Structure 1
Amino acid sequence: MKRTLMLSITLSVHFFYAQEKLPNRVKEIGYGQLDFLSLKMPNNESNMDFTGLHYNLKINKWSYAGVGFYGAVGGIRGGFFTLGINAGIKKNIVNKLFLDTGVHFGGGGGAAAPDGGGAFILPHINLGYDFKRFSISTGYSYVNFFDKGTIKSSQLNVAIQVPLSFQTTNFEEKEKEFSFNNLKNSEWNIPSSRLSLLMHLNNLSVTKGSYKGKTIRLAGFEFNSYLTDEFFFFVKADGAYHGIKAGYMDILLGGGYHFSMNKNRTNILAKFGVGGGGGGGVDTKGGFLIYPDLSIEQKLFDNFYATVNKGYLMSPDSHFSSSTLGFGLKYYVDKDGINSQKMSFSKGKFKGLETILKQDLYFNAQRDTGINQNMHQISLQINFFLNKNFYGAGQTSFANFGDAGAYAEGIVGLGYQSKYIFNNTTSIFVQVLGGAAGGGGISTGQGLIVKPSLGVNYKLTEKLNLRGALGYVKAKGGSLNTTFINLGFSYNFSFLSMKK
């Protein structure tokens, strides 16, 4: 009797402890935005049609901040891309009518445009209407490439926004695991959502246009977010690392259909996307590209799949056309909640994610001209934690000062981050990234670079860190071979990932 009583008390305490230790759920309210503006170009050049893809988080009821890309889709500057940060105020005036005013600051350029060092500012003031599932807005905007560039333009803009919120908890909860039953009796008992991340190598076999008959080798990523069990939207970005002079890049947005068989071990995905691409001597005219594609995936282990894709990438008038063949590794995540109509889960684990915005300084960056000078660039890096310390990383960067406005990077790699030390305020990390880079006269050969670094995070709040690093960048086939430093901020959190 005594042993039975002790066992009951022990089990009760264990059950109570497990329930108490479940992390609190916090809803991060955000939205994606697609916008369009037509820039007046200097020297009587035809307008450059500029389209942007952004993600913003609501800071409070009336303000937001986020990141965004822009790319040319019309004119003669195909391959012109930028990256920047957003900040603004979005406040209802009456009912569903709202005012949106803010500023975008970034860097980039390309296609021999008069972009100077690449730094630009883009303020706007828009009037919009909220239709609940989406909102639209239009208004005035101004663009100024102010670091020795001559692109200055005032114009109307139009934008569409779609709510894209997600569930998080504290970053330090990463890798904690709970049974389905524990999660079922908690605030995490909500519908789950599915996404995937693909890292791949892609080959463009050019069939028409510049570089006809050549194969351009690309490295990049693709992010899929599922609207239903079958339908999804995707964002894809690639950069050239071999086959042509460095500088080619494309960014595409689209949708697709997912068909599963063989007990979900084999998937077939049909996709169609549109977007911008060019650079590196690849003549895409205004830059607008279409992308039909068919992919086959085979499960390797857990949520990892090997992928093969075959498709086409071309301008609508076939001025440039190519066939595509790619190979990659994809990771699926069922996140935010535990309820799914198609999947059955047995447990959940909290996974860590870092989003980093920083400013890099390359000392005496080597140029094709032989005249070396410092180069600055704005960078976005995302770290996905494979366990408590090791992470996979993806980074994209665009020059914004130093007379190299067309320079850009798209690199991936691995890193290690220590536990927090010094009264839980500081962590140390080391990482090695590599991939495609080029443009702006920076000497990267055909585009392949490697970039190791060592740095420190200092905790400002539970989710926000100050981040600095020292590193080294080396180009294979080019003379870029220099040290760099960077400083920025990281936004850290954990999310619930469910397992079968």
Structure 2
Amino acid sequence: MKKILFALIFSSQFLIAQTEIVPEKKTQRAFAKIDFLSIEMPDLKELNMGFTGIHYNLMLNDWSYAGLGIYGAVTGTRGGFFTLGVNAGIKKYFGKDFYVDTGFHFGGGGGAAAPDGGGAFILPHFNLGYNFNKFSVNSGWSYVNFFDGGLIKGHQVNLGLEIPLDYDYANYEISENEYDFTALKKSDWNINSKRISLLFHVNNLKIKGNTQGINNGKTIRLAGFELASYLSKNWFAFLKVDGAFDGIKAGFMDVFLGGGYHLSFNKNNTNILAKFGAGAAGGGGIDTQGGFLIYPDISIEQKIFGDIYIAINKGYIMSLNSHFYTSSYGVGLKYYIDRNGIKADKKYASGKFKGFEVITKHDIYFNAKRDTGIEQNMHQISLQINFDLNKNIYVAGQTSFANFGNAGAYGEGIVGFGARTNPILKNKIILFSQALAGAAGGGGISTGQGLILKPSAGFHYVLNNALSFRAAGGYIKAKGGELSNPFLNFGIKYHLSFLKMN
């Protein structure tokens, strides 16, 4: 009898312990924003440049926010003009639905032979907004100034649309911890899961039309990624970013935002996806006029193993007046994830917390070689996103734009893998190395047709549960160009983990 009683007590304590160790589900308030402003160009005979941005901001408290944003030209004559930057601001309500939003954006970029100088610019704003519950709109004054030798500056009215996009997460240090379905069912994670997919692909654009001069008939080869978030079982929204690495002079890139429909058959082993997107593209000597393009596409995917599929796509990328018109086709690998909830269409036995990192940093390229043969230091603002494969190996994607050093149109889009040590020195220091490769060009930097290799190594210093200081050094080499030099970078890493169902 005593043995039975002891076994029951031990079992109950074990079950309680299992329930208690499931990490706390935290929620970060956040919002996405799309804005538009019409920028007056230095040459008054030139059409205004329509500048549209996509931002994601985290609420730091009830009244302040910070985040990241990317801008691209969509009207005027500067198609291919892109920037990347950081946001910070104050959002204060007066009354129930009206609010004041004041803040600034600092970034770097340029393109399309524009007078952007080194690429560094500021964009402060003061807006009034109204909240419609599911979304909000705002408008007001803004000022843009490409202050590092650029000539683009002036005041303008801006318009914005904001959508709440909160997310659930857990602390980063519990990443790779796995919990069975029974324990998760008794926790705060017993909610509907959210599906996302990440596609890494190589795409080809066959240029058509005699408006493209020497590029007519050429094939642009691009590498990039596509992130999709499912709104329901079949409907999804996506963000697609590509950069050219072969076929034309380096510098062409595109950014598309859109939606699509997903149809599965063959016991969910085969998918057909129809997509439509709109966005900005240009650079590399390609004339996209104002830069606004549309992107209809159809893809077929076949399961390889687990949640990994091979994807083949066929579509078109074109301007509304068909001045720029291309056939698009490509191939890639796609990874599907059901996250942050145990209620899903598929049956799962457990869930594992996976690490996710967002890094904002400043790069310094020493003596970056130009097409003219001149060597000069170049600086750029950079965004890197890491997804942990396990405790020590991660896959990484990075985009960067020049902001000082007279190369404002230069940009990069690269992917690769990295490895890190376990924490050392009282769990404060983590060493890492990584190797990335992809597309780069513009700004007169000698990258040939755009393919670059970029190995580096460095360290993280842990500041708290969410933030670390990061520094690294490495070497960049352009295949087919003269860019071949060392670099240093430093910045801030934001890290968290999310629940992935297994």
Report the TM-score, using the length of structure 2 for normalisation.
0.98
State the partner residue of 1:226: 230
Residue in 1 that maps onto 2:30:
30
- Alpha-carbon shift at residue 264 of structure 1 (Å): 1.5
Q: CA deviation at 1:183?
A: 0.6
Structure 2 equivalent of residue 450 of structure 1: 453
SS at match of 1:283: coil
**Structure 2 match to 1:179:** 180
Whichever residue aligns with residue 244 of structure 1, its letter is I
1:6 deviation in Å? Answer: 5.0
| Structure 2 counterparts to residues 266-277 of structure 1, below 5 A | 266-277=270-281
Corresponding position of 2:301 = 297
Offset, 1:345:
2.4
2:487 matches 1:474:
no
- Higher mean Cα deviation, 352-361 or 292-301? 292-301
SS of residue in 2 equivalent to 1:20: helix
1:435-473 residue CA offsets vs partner (Å, 9 max, x unmatched): 000000000000000000001100111110000001100
Gaps of 5+ in 2: none
1:9 deviation in Å?
4.4
Q: Unpaired runs of 5+ in structure 1?
A: none
Does 2:487 correspond to 1:484?
A: yes
The aligned residue for residue 399 of structure 1 is 402
1:130 aligned to 2:131? yes
Greater shift, 415-424 or 7-16, is seen at 7-16
Matches within 5 A, 1:194-205: 194-205=195-206
Q: Which residue of 2 aligns with 1:494?
A: 497
Where 2:184 maps in the other structure, the secondary structure is helix
C-alpha separation between the residues in 1 aligned to 2:455 and 2:8? 54
Matched with 1:161 is 162
SS of corresponding position for 1:12 = helix
Q: For the structure 1 residues 370 and 100, does the alpha-carbon distance in structure 2 shift closer, same or farther, using more than 3 Å as the test?
A: same
**Amino acid in structure 1 at the alignment position of 2:80:** G
In structure 2, the partner of 1:235 is 239
Q: How many angstroms does 1:7 deviate by?
A: 4.3
1:362-406 deviations in Å (ceiling 9; x for gaps): 000011111100000000000000111100000000000000000
- The aligned counterpart of 1:86 is 87
Which aligned pairs between 1:186-335 and structure 2 lie closer than 5 A?
A: 186-208=187-209, 209-210=211-212, 211-335=215-339
- The within-5 A match list for 1:363-378 is 363-378=366-381
Describe the SS at the equivalent of 1:19.
helix
SS in 1 for 2:255: strand
1:361, CA displacement in angstroms? 0.1
Task: Name whichever of 31-40 and 330-339 sits farther off.
Answer: 330-339
Cα distance in 1 between the residues matched to 2:173 and 2:300: 36
Match of 1:428 in 2: 431
User: Secondary structure of 2:346's match?
Assistant: coil
Q: After superposition, what is the alpha-carbon deviation per residue over 1:342-366, rounded to whole angstroms, capped at 9, x for unaligned?
A: 3332211101000000000000001
The aligned amino acid for 1:215 is T
Partner of 2:148 in structure 1? 147
Question: How many residues matched?
Answer: 498
1:91 offset after TM fit, Å?
A: 1.0
AA at the equivalent of 1:399: A
User: Is it true that 1:379 corresponds to 2:391 in the alignment?
Assistant: no
Residue 57 (structure 2) aligns with? 56
**1:174 Cα shift?**
0.7
**1:265 deviation in Å?**
1.3
Q: Quote the Cα distance in structure 2 between the aligned partners of 1:386 and 1:370.
A: 41
- CA deviation vs aligned residue, 1:226-245 (integer Å, no higher than 9, x gap): 11111111100000000111
In the TM superposition, what whole-angstrom CA distance separates every residue of 1:299-350 from its partner, at most 9, and x where no partner exists? 111211111111000111110111111111111111121223x333221110
Secondary structure of the corresponding residue to residue 123 of structure 2: strand
Identity of paired residues, percent?
Answer: 60
Q: Does 1:43 align with 2:47?
A: no
Distance 2:2 2:412 in 1: 68
1:185-209: CA deviations, max 9, x gaps?
0111122111111110000011224
What is the CA distance between 1:156 and its match in structure 2?
0.4
**TM-score, structure 1 as length reference:** 0.98
Between the aligned partners of 1:374 and 1:491, the Cα distance in structure 2 is 28
**In the aligned structure 2, how far is the partner of 1:30 from the partner of 1:9?**
44
Task: Please report how far the alpha carbon of residue 18 of structure 1 lies from its aligned counterpart in structure 2 after TM superposition.
Answer: 1.7
Deviates more, 1:295-304 or 1:390-399: 295-304
The residue identity in structure 2 corresponding to 1:153 is: G
Distance 1:308 1:141 in 2: 42
Distance 2:390 2:305 in 1: 16
Secondary structure of the 2:15 match is: helix
> Aligned pair 1:409/2:412, yes or no?
yes
SS of the residue 2:143 aligns to:
strand
How much is the aligned-residue C-alpha RMSD, in angstroms?
Answer: 1.1
The match for 1:440 is 443
Match of 1:390 among 376, 388, 393: 393
Partner of 1:357: 360
Q: Shift of the alpha carbon at 1:498?
A: 1.3
Cα distance change on mapping 1:9 and 1:301 into 2, 3 Å: farther
CA–CA separation in structure 1 for the residues paired with 2:109 and 2:451: 19
